Amino acid sequence: MKNSKKSLTLALLIGSLLGTGSVLANKIVDQINITSGRSITLQDQESMALSAARVLRHVADARIAIHKKDLATARVDITSAQTLMKIINQVRPITDITYNIHTKASKKHKAIDYHDTDKIPLEMIPIDMEQTFVTDLAPVKQAAMKAAHAHAHYLATKSRNKNTEAVAPVEDQDIFTEVAIPFTPTQELLNIAAKELNMNKGKNADKALELIEENTDITVIEANTPVEHARLNLLKATKQAYLSDTTKAKASLEKAEKWLKKAAKNADTKTRAKIKNLSNTMRSLKKKLTP
């Protein structure tokens, strides 16, 4: 009897999927919309990046204090880092993902509608790399040392043979380091560190703070083509112009123009289109920098 019921159920299911020979219209309609729930101004973005950088500064200082057995100072640094995380949370952008699912009405059934929205805040918080203390992070320091060694090798090679340039000088290498902290793990680890410090467990607190540094995402971007050199220098000039550092912005813009000229010499159709777009952006920025 049980087997016959299972067979009947399976037959009905297959029949509903295959139909009876007629073309069936979709009974369920779904739609997903992704919109900006909370946008962020460029000034807020800069403030958020600075706040994230200060979080790492306080984490580093707290670890130093813990190693010196100065737990009171470490607590102050952790509290400051937690305050900065609250500031970041208030301004970080949010993306709204809206789900709309509904069934079509029929003679037997009414239409059923489902609406819901997930609010997804920005998780990876970028850091302003112009904050020099970020070089305290080991991976960034290693990248800087690698560039310095390359430059030293270039100078040594050039002194031996003036007609040879085996390694390009650091000034001609566009290397940008992007750093970001994951918001949720950082906030949770700070809370753990604070709790451990309140119980005078410095070693446990230090382990939590060490994880914050290890979780920090560090990406080194190096330009390998003239167009990439131009693009990265243009991005740098744009940021410098926003920060009202006109002198540096003009210097970066000049470098971008030189790289575009090099790119134009042997450019294919796709590259020429990129050069055109970059040139238009550069002209616009140059007008803004010219009083």
**Of the options 2.60.40, 1.10.3470, 1.20.120, 2.40.10, the CATH number for the domain spanning 30-124+181-220:** 1.20.120
> CA-to-CA distance for 254 and 54, rounded, in angstroms?
32
CA distance 280 to 45: 25
Tracing tokens 């540096």 back to the chain, one arrives at 248
Among 59-63, 170-174, 236-240, whose mean pLDDT is lowest? 170-174
Question: What is the C-alpha to C-alpha distance for residues 123 and 152, in angstroms, rounded to an integer?
Answer: 39
Q: What secondary structure, in 3-state letters, does 234-258 show?
A: HHHHHHHHHCCCHHHHHHHHHHHHH
Q: Which two tokens stand for residue 7?
A: 């067979």
Q: Is the pLDDT higher at 77 or at 165?
A: 77
Kindly give, in sequence order, each residue whose CB lies less than 8 Å from that of residue 256, ignoring residues fewer than 6 positions away: 229, 230, 231, 233, 234, 237, 278, 282
pTM higher than 0.75 for the full model? no
Residue 102, pLDDT > 90, answer no
**Cα–Cα distance for residue pair 270/11, rounded to 1 Å:** 57
| The pLDDT value given to residue 191 | 97
pLDDT at 142: 53
CB neighbours of residue 198 within 10 Å: 12
Average pLDDT, the chain: 77
CA triple 125-130-134, angle to 5 deg: 70
Domain ranges of the chain: 30-124+181-220, 140-179, 223-291
59 confidence band (pLDDT: 50, 70, 90): very high
pLDDT, one tens digit per residue, over 113-135 is: 888 988 888 899 988 655 434 44
- State yes or no: pLDDT of 136 exceeds 50: no
Q: Is the pLDDT of residue 222 over 90?
A: no
d(CA 196, CA 266): 61
| Percentage, residues of the chain above pLDDT 70 | 71
**Amino acid at residue number 14:** I
d(CA 203, CA 190): 14
**Distance separating the N- and C-terminal Cα atoms of the chain:** 91
| Residues 122 and 93: beta-carbon distance below 8 Å | yes
User: What's residue 10's pLDDT?
Assistant: 55
pLDDT digits (tens, 9 = 90+) for 226-248: 888 888 888 788 777 766 778 88
Q: Could you report the per-residue pLDDT of 9-57, keeping only the tens digit for each?
A: 555 555 555 554 444 455 777 788 887 777 777 778 878 888 998 899 8
pLDDT the model gives residue 164: 39
**Unique residue bearing structure tokens 């609010």:** 119
